[in-house]
Amino acid sequence: MAQAQAKQTTAVVEKKPTAVPSLDISSFEEHAGAGAENITSKDVSLPFLKILTNNSPQVTQGDSKFIENARPGQVINTVLNKLYNGREGFRVVPCFYKFEYVEWADRGKADSLAPVNSYPADSDIMTKTKRGDDRKDRLDNGNYIEPTHYHYVLIVDENDQPSETAVIVMKATQAKKSKKWNSMMLSQRRKGKNGFFQPPTWSQIYLMKTMLEKNNLGSWFGWEVEHFSDIPNATLLEGAKAFYETCRKGMAKVNLSAEDENNNTEAAPF
């Protein structure tokens, strides 16, 4: 009897698994935005989509920003550290465009980590510059002016749904790519009830690739832009339009010092 009791007290009791109810993420809709009430455009950093080069920290072993699978010619989201295949490309919706003249100090100076100033597209600042031996447009104070093209985009995922928002900066050798892209957007026409019209840029999808470019001074990777299609669904269209409105109101802030951490890594070697 004692032996039987011992067996009873030392036996392992098998616990039955407790069913965990599944959670539908859409149930959070009534709490949309909760926890972020005090976050404004001043508190966030809009990601850049940058082409990686041989000098990028992400491809340099030993650098704190090194990424194992990163290669020159790939594109990186600078906030998420997400890589995109430059050869295969990825799709974006261009939601907004802006042009500025940006004033920089030479690398190595105390104020070279961030723009010294920026000037709107209608500024006459270029008339106050002289072309230096380094092919930079210099002001009398020694700083140089860099014409800069900003393309604010919504990335499209593999399911034709809105993914991240970001900005693509094109300057130096890539300025001509920006102008070509703008021409492509302006040349789009669709037929409506009153005839042909120019659709909003945020109704179109473009394929972004990278390609190797060369001149007599060296080689680098640059952008290649192709028109892909009209936006295929209402969800994507709503997301693109919403981002356009955010940019138009000046709420999508760009921190150029983060984009230019290597100071013109996307430019040609001159």
Q: What is the pLDDT of residues 79-107, one digit of tens each?
A: 999 999 999 999 999 999 999 999 999 98
Its pTM surpasses 0.95: no
Looking at residue 6, its pLDDT comes to 44
Per-residue pLDDT of the chain (270 residues; tens, 9 = 90+): 444 444 444 555 566 666 666 777 777 778 777 887 777 666 667 899 999 999 899 999 899 999 999 999 999 999 999 999 999 999 999 999 999 999 999 987 766 678 899 999 999 999 999 999 989 999 999 999 999 999 999 999 999 999 999 999 999 999 999 999 999 999 999 999 999 999 999 999 999 999 999 888 788 999 999 999 999 999 999 999 999 999 999 888 887 765 555 444 444 544
The closest alpha carbon to 130, from 112, 145, 110, belongs to 145
Looking at residue 47, its pLDDT comes to 92
Ranges of each domain in the chain: 55-190+200-259
Looking at residue 218, its pLDDT comes to 84
